[in-house]
């Protein structure tokens, strides 16, 4: 048996790995917003149906949103992850950027406020110069965040949604997870799983020594 024939047979005997791509859409398990002008209040001004991100005059809004990734099969490879949130109203025409950071400690949806909001890290943060329009979906690529959360190389506490370099009013008001399903925030994750397909063996085959 020549070398090439042996390699062909060896490859034939090896299991074939089949890759399958799937998409899952996740809703938040927790979300809330805080404001430094009402530092002891959870979801100030508008109640728990809304989230906010940005600045209104001298007041700063920050939102916190957390997802459960356990529905994604263990061992899957995260291909992409997109955070989508519905902007009800966009106010102001000032400057500034939207920022997204990883939260690094646990928090309570019902008691979080500006005074006790969870700490976050700017490492690997996302900065977007383009703000949403009123009555439209706003999308953010958070693939790197989700890869870290899913692989457990970073703690999955939540996403911090804030702003930087804003001047005067530049603020987005969003639907929270407590509105109709059509307008709830969501995370769309595309992932790949692999499985081995066993091939038939060749009876009586002897591997040369």
pTM (two decimals): 0.84
Nearest to 61 by CA among 110, 99, 102, 28: 99
Read off φ and ψ for residue 196, nearest 5 degrees. Answer: -90, 130
Strand-pair category, 97-103 with 16-26: unpaired
Element (H, E) at 38: none
Read off φ and ψ for residue 99, nearest 5 degrees. Answer: -130, 150
Print pLDDT tens along the chain (209 aa).
555 554 444 444 455 556 678 999 999 999 999 999 999 999 998 789 999 999 999 999 999 999 999 999 999 999 999 999 999 999 998 889 999 999 999 999 999 999 999 999 999 999 999 999 999 999 999 999 999 999 999 999 999 999 999 988 999 999 999 999 999 999 999 999 986 544 444 444 444 44
The predicted-structure confidence for 103-134, as pLDDT tens digits, reads as follows: 999 999 999 999 999 999 999 999 999 999 99
How far is CA 201 from its chain centroid?
Answer: 44
Greatest CA span in the chain, whole angstroms? 82
How far is CA 129 from its chain centroid?
Answer: 19
């Amino acid at each position: 048996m020549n070398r090439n024939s042996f390699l062909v047979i060896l490859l034939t005997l090896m299991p074939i790995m089949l890759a399958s791509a799937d998409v899952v859409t996740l809703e938040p398990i927790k979300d809330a917003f805080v404001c430094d002008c009402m530092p002891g209040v959870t979801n100030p001004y508008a109640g728990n149906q809304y989230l906010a991100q940005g600045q209104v005059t001298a007041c700063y809004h920050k939102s916190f949103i957390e997802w459960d990734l356990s529905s994604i099969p263990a061992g899957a490879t995260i291909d992409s992850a997109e955070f989508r949130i519905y902007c009800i109203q966009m106010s102001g025409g000032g400057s500034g950027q939207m920022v997204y950071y990883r939260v690094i400690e646990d928090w309570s949806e019902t008691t979080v406020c500006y005074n006790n909001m969870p700490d976050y890290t700017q490492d690997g943060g996302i900065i977007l110069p383009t703000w949403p329009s009123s009555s439209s979906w706003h999308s953010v690529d958070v693939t790197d965040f989700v890869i870290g959360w899913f692989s457990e190389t970073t703690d999955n506490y939540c996403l911090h949604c804030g702003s930087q370099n804003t001047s005067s009013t530049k603020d987005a008001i969003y639907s929270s997870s407590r509105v109709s399903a059509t307008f709830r925030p969501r995370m769309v994750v595309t992932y790949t799983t692999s499985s081995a397909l066993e091939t038939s063996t060749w009876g009586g085959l002897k591997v040369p020594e």
